[in-house]
């Protein structure tokens, strides 16, 4: 006799509920050792509402259809020499940064969700995390495939996974995810599912992917929108976890609020890289970072926090600083890379006169006052044959690991913001009140930070000479992958292809 075919509802129940079992001879607490140490109180896991209402067979079907379309576009892009259709070869440097800084984060997200997918006592939360882990692994793969085509034609794509573990500026995204992954399971979900996915990935995947479209990069657009359709599901997980925690026990509120404060601050620091990609690295620009921030953080995020107010949640701490920083961070971040363009794995450049005017128009209150003079001096130095590469090594923030470049938003945006804390007789430096608070809350954690500059000076990165650090420890092709775009092999090849050599 043929087995009775299950309807979708039964399949879903079997997947999300009947995979759990009672522990008859082991203490359930021993099976889920990570569930309590953060102080989160769960009184009833059965109250968990599954945000991923998908059965496995429906999931495979949707994703395989998406994959087929995605790979058809990748093939067409490769066969039609899609690299020749980008707006300007400078654009490809944004993709180099994406491949080295963002794609490994997808892999870290996969590892993080696979881990927490084991750690919750509630089967619904375990299944949701496992399914997201599969999504994240797929994102890594499609991003690598989309960008691999550029590796045939441009410098800087050769060793991205090695670079992610070692290169100074990649410590910023790497440490962000390692901080989340080395926290407890609830903090991980709050950090990544809620703070990062719910509000901040919109800023990465929506306006940046529109930027890819504007610059003729159809492969990136395709993976971006394919990933974003998964992100919509991931955001519902983010929202579910926070509502679930707040409804379970009132004692969870202060812990959750502290995590929101921490992870929104860390997120804004991480996204300063995306800000500079939008304002400086897209030759055809879609919207300014400030406009994107207003649309996706202030409007969308503001509405979310209004919803959460009934649980007692307030806006992230230092929101008023974050609001002011939207005028500054993209310019400050690109200036770091212009300063250290000899130690980056991609090219940097002075914006064209038209781009400077666009920035003045988009940032009327700040650009001409604080940032245009930097480019005027840089242009003057370049004209004198002294393209400015900053000598020596920068001071880094102990928490976000960005060079200490951010300025005082309240008192004087022309003054670098220095914060300091002592812990067990050692001095530590942070870039802001936000990072300072994060350090002071868990100094034992951040005192362990692997700060690239300090590691170089300890001799742990292939010796004291910068060229050896770059070529042997980072595995960059010095002189091809780095330095100014002007005069680079990338530029020369492009000019040959376009008959401009």
Partner 1 sequence: MPVIALNKDYKGEVRDAKANFGGNILVYIGWDEHLLFCSAKTFLLPLTMRFGELQDTPLNEGFNQHPDFKHIDWASVQWILNGKPLSPSREHTLEQLGFDHKSLLRFRTPGLNGYKGTGV
Residue numbers of the site for partner 1 (CB under 8 A)?
A: 33-34, 37-39, 184, 332, 335-336, 338-340, 369-370, 373-374, 376-378, 386, 388, 390-396, 403-405, 414-416, 418, 420, 424, 426-429, 441-445, 447-451, 453-455, 457-459
DSSP label of 370: I
Estimate the crossing angle of helix 123-151 against helix 218-248, to 10 degrees. 160
Residue 377 CB, shortest distance to partner 1, in Å, is: 4
Residue 373 CB, shortest distance to partner 1, in Å, is: 4
Q: How far apart are CA 214 and CA 289, in angstroms?
A: 16
Q: How far apart are CA 327 and CA 48, in angstroms?
A: 40
Stretch (H or E) spanning 430: strand 426-430
Q: Give the Cβ contact number of residue 27 at 10 Å.
A: 8
Nearer to partner 1, 243 or 379 (CB): 379
Residue 39 CB, shortest distance to partner 1, in Å, is: 7
Q: How far apart are CA 299 and CA 262, in angstroms?
A: 20
Residue 444 CB, shortest distance to partner 1, in Å, is: 4
Nearer to partner 1, 131 or 378 (CB): 378
Nearer to partner 1, 197 or 484 (CB): 484
Residue 344 CB, shortest distance to partner 1, in Å, is: 13
Q: Give the Cβ contact number of residue 493 at 10 Å.
A: 16
Residue 131 CB, shortest distance to partner 1, in Å, is: 25
Nearer to partner 1, 150 or 337 (CB): 337
Q: Which two tokens stand for residue 469?
A: 């650090």
Q: How far apart are CA 143 and CA 459, in angstroms?
A: 34
Nearer to partner 1, 209 or 404 (CB): 404
How many residues would you count in the chain? 501
Q: Which two tokens stand for residue 409?
A: 């938003």
Residue 81 CB, shortest distance to partner 1, in Å, is: 37
Helices in 120-206 by DSSP H: which ranges? Answer: 123-151, 160-166, 171-181, 185-188, 201-205
Nearer to partner 1, 65 or 412 (CB): 412
Phi and psi at 422, nearest 5°, equal: -105, 140
Nearer to partner 1, 15 or 116 (CB): 116
Nearer to partner 1, 450 or 497 (CB): 450
Q: Which two tokens stand for residue 143?
A: 């991003």
Residue 33 CB, shortest distance to partner 1, in Å, is: 7
Stretch (H or E) spanning 423: strand 419-423
């Amino acid at each position: 006799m043929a087995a009775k075919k299950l309807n979708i509802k039964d399949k879903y129940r079997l997947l999300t509920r009947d995979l759990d079992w009672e522990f008859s001879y082991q203490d359930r607490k021993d099976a889920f050792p990570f569930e309590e140490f953060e102080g989160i109180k769960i009184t009833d896991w059965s109250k968990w509402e599954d945000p991923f209402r998908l059965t496995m067979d429906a999931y495979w079907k949707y994703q395989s259809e998406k994959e087929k379309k995605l790979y058809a576009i990748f093939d067409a892009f490769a066969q039609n020499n899609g690299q020749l259709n980008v707006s300007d070869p400078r654009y490809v440097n944004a993709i180099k940064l994406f491949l080295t800084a963002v794609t490994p984060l997808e892999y870290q997200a996969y590892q993080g969700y696979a881990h927490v997918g084991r750690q919750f006592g509630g089967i619904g939360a375990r299944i949701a995390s496992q399914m997201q882990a599969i999504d994240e692994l797929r994102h890594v793969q499609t991003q690598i495939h989309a960008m691999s085509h550029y590796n045939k034609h441009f410098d800087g794509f050769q060793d991205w996974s090695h670079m992610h573990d070692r290169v100074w500026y990649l410590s910023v995204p790497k440490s962000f995810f390692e901080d989340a992954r080395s926290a407890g399971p609830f903090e991980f979900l709050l950090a990544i599912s809620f703070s990062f996915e719910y509000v901040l990935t919109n800023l990465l995947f929506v306006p940046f992917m529109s930027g890819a479209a504007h610059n003729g990069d159809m492969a990136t657009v395709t993976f971006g929108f394919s990933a974003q359709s998964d992100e919509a599901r991931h955001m519902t997980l983010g929202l579910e976890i926070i509502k679930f925690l707040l409804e379970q026990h009132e004692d969870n509120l202060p812990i959750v609020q502290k995590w929101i404060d921490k992870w929104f601050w860390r997120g804004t620091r991480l996204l300063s890289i995306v800000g500079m990609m939008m304002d400086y690295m897209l030759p055809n620009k879609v919207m300014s970072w400030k406009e994107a921030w207003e649309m996706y953080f202030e409007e969308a995020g503001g509405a979310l926090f209004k919803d959460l107010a009934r649980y007692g949640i307030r806006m992230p701490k230092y929101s008023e600083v974050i609001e002011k920083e939207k005028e500054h961070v993209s310019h400050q971040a690109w200036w770091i890379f212009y300063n250290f363009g000899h130690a980056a794995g991609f090219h940097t450049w002075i914006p064209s006169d038209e781009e400077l005017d666009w920035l003045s128009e988009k940032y009327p209150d700040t650009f001409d006052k604080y940032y245009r003079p930097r480019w005027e001096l840089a242009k003057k130095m370049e004209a004198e044959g002294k393209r400015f590469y900053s000598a020596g090594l920068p001071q880094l923030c102990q928490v976000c690991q960005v060079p200490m470049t951010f300025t005082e938003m309240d008192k004087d945006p022309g003054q670098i913001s220095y914060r300091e804390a002592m812990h067990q007789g050692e001095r530590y430096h942070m870039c802001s009140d936000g990072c300072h608070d994060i350090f002071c809350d868990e100094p034992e954690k951040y005192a362990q930070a692997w700060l690239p500059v300090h590691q170089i000076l300890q001799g742990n990165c292939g010796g004291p000479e910068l060229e050896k650090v770059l070529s042997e420890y980072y595995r960059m092709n010095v002189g091809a992958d780095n330095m100014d775009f002007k005069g680079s092999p990338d530029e020369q090849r492009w000019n040959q292809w376009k008959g401009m050599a």
